[in-house]
Structure 1
Amino acid sequence: MSTDVLSPFAAWLGLRETADAAARAADLVEAVRGRLPAGGPSTIHDLGSGTGSMLRWLAPRLPGPQRWVLYDRDPELLAHAAAGTVTAADGAPVTVLTRCTDLTRLTAADLAAADLVTASALLDMFTADEVERVVAACAGAGRPALLMISVTGGVRLTPADPLDAEIAAAFNDHQRRTAGGRHLLGPDAVDATLAAFARHGVPVRTRPSPWRLGPEQAELTAEWFRGWVGAACEQRPELADRAARYARRRLAEAAAGRLTVVVEHRDLLAG
């Protein structure tokens, strides 16, 4: 299934995959290897799999046969994630199963067969109650959880512009919005997740995992920037006129290779 027939969201996931891969804290994988069964097979449950970027990044970094169970609520994304072929670090086979389900309703029993639980770019889309339920499922199953590429709200653009901070604040407020009766955590999700694991007595290691976007990522930079400004203006419509002029300047800088962006994330390894 090619990206040109996928949804705009799936195309966005494909566009950002290289930046996610470069940002993830690879040193946490060293700790993960020591938690997996010696000689395999290893069973890994990936939450919010999207098009399968975590599978494609992590499976080749782990040895031995692996059985991945991919969870998402979008069957189209799951079909795309399961369509490719991945092998382990030592060439061992990797098998893939999919489960189309509501992640926020997972229990410890659902994860009991896992040796490792993973997720990428997921936590900010949860509410506080949903984070608590997911953490409780991981803690109750007694399984380590590698939760990567969670936004923290920090953005730095170079060269700086007077409107950067105002747009960033409006965007972060948008990420914390109430949607469909759910109050999303957005950039507060990492702190909420750390607090939830602490309540369950589960230690967590954290690492920074920033996107660093420069001229080589001009397409991603432009797409991210349009979404960033658009969400800020949706949150604060009074920004629209100034933001339009700002966006023209910034996109021209990006096209000319003069704009660099750092988008802050954190990676967590719990358990």
Structure 2
Amino acid sequence: MSGTTGTDTTGTDTTGTDTAPAGGPGTRDTGTIRLGDRTRGEATDDTTRYAPEWLQLREGADASARAAELLDPLRIRLANLPRRSGGFVIHDLGCGTGSMGRWLAPRLDGPQHWVLHDRDPYLLHFAAVGSPRSAADGSRVTVETQRGDVGRLTADALAGASLVTASALLDVLDADEIEALAAACAGAGCPALLTLSVVGRVELTPAHPLDAEITEAFNDHQRRGDLLGPEALSTACDAFSRHGATVRVHPSAWRLGPDESALTAEWLRGWVGAAVEQRPELAARAADYLDERLAACAAGELNVVVHHSDLLALARPAGGV
């Protein structure tokens, strides 16, 4: 990525399949998948902040949740862009294992070149080898990877971009990073589709007296340091609007039932764990709560709705048209 140090860019065709290296930095830690721990500074080759297992486990729920209602206005904007011989250039920020590309590329017509950005080279490996090969109309999809920090994104880095995408990213950014993202997209005249931002609401059925307290503690954990957590979506809407974009927001909740019990159980462990990390005084009660909730999950008796929202920001095209 432009403006970063240690950037490693590789062009990768999407043909063939690959198996991720066994073991290594993305494996489970003490029996629980790390849901993510975004820290400052450049990633090193032996640091994985988001375990591939967790990203793979959630991919189906993410795909079901993303707001397909935002695709038609996006398609209209893309159709009105000047035609390029290489097709659309799409930058996927914080791409993880590449689930956004696997969801979106087959829903758009025309040749596409995806630029996958992440600070973690291990995740970039997964994203590159798992990328789709063709668009909705059978056109070719190609991919390259760029290691770097999305907090340093500039309009120059997006020069020639047709679209910026991201998934579950906004809520782990601070206000300056969101402002930089909005400014970069505006400067490049580039629309942005930013999906699956948490909004601070969770519904568990049946209800439990500790649900609200765990939710509040988790939300405070999301806001640790300068991170915006549940307030990120509204901050992003304001930032893109200030930079002249037309902004649309649509709900994109996870709806987890008995068929998603593996994901629900892992989400519960991470959700409760973050709440206890934020408020250690919850530890004893939270342990009993988690045991009870996991038992209900295993019995197929727990349903969870984790609320998110998707944002489509249609920046004014470069040149002011």
Q: Shorter-normalised TM-score: what interval?
A: over 0.9
Is residue 110 of structure 1 aligned with residue 157 of structure 2?
yes
Report the equivalent of 2:58: 16
Shift of the alpha carbon at 1:2? 3.2
Partners of 1:212 and 1:262 within 8 A in 2: yes
Partners of 1:221 and 1:261 within 8 A in 2: yes
Is residue 44 of structure 1 aligned with residue 90 of structure 2?
yes
Q: Structure 2: which 5+ runs fail to align?
A: 1-18, 29-50, 315-321
Map residues 1-271 of structure 1 onto 2, 5 A cutoff: 1-2=19-20, 5=23, 7=26, 8=28, 9-37=51-79, 41-86=87-132, 87-178=134-225, 183-271=226-314
Q: Does the residue aligned with 1:69 lie in a helix, a strand or coil?
A: strand
Shift of the alpha carbon at 1:12? 0.5
Shift of the alpha carbon at 1:37? 4.6
Partners of 1:65 and 1:93 within 8 A in 2: yes
For residues 3-51 of structure 1, what are the alpha-carbon distances to aligned partners after superposition, in whole Å with 9 as ceiling and x for unaligned? 8646141110010000000000012111111122577611111111000
Give the stretch that moved more between structures: 2-11 or 243-252.
2-11
Q: Does the residue aligned with 1:34 lie in a helix, a strand or coil?
A: helix
Shift of the alpha carbon at 1:85? 4.6
Paired with 2:74 and 2:109, the residues of 1 have a C-alpha distance of 11
RMSD (CA atoms): 1.3
Paired with 2:294 and 2:181, the residues of 1 have a C-alpha distance of 38
Paired with 1:85 and 1:176, the residues of 2 have a C-alpha distance of 32
For residues 62-94 of structure 1, what are the alpha-carbon distances to aligned partners after superposition, in whole Å with 9 as ceiling and x for unaligned? 111110011111111111101125111111110
Say if 1:229 and 1:129 are closer, same or farther in 2 by CA, change over 3 A. same
Say if 1:109 and 1:195 are closer, same or farther in 2 by CA, change over 3 A. same
Partners of 1:64 and 1:89 within 8 A in 2: yes
Letter in 2 for 1:227: G
TM-score by length of 1: 0.95
Identity %: 63
Count of residue pairs brought into register by the alignment? 267
Structure 1 residue ranges, 4+ long, deviating more than 3 angstroms after superposition: 2-6, 37-40
Q: Does the residue aligned with 2:199 lie in a helix, a strand or coil?
A: strand
Paired with 2:75 and 2:21, the residues of 1 have a C-alpha distance of 32
Letter in 1 for 2:272: V
Paired with 2:21 and 2:166, the residues of 1 have a C-alpha distance of 22
TM-score by length of 2: 0.81
For residues 184-218 of structure 1, what are the alpha-carbon distances to aligned partners after superposition, in whole Å with 9 as ceiling and x for unaligned? 11111001101111221212000000000000000
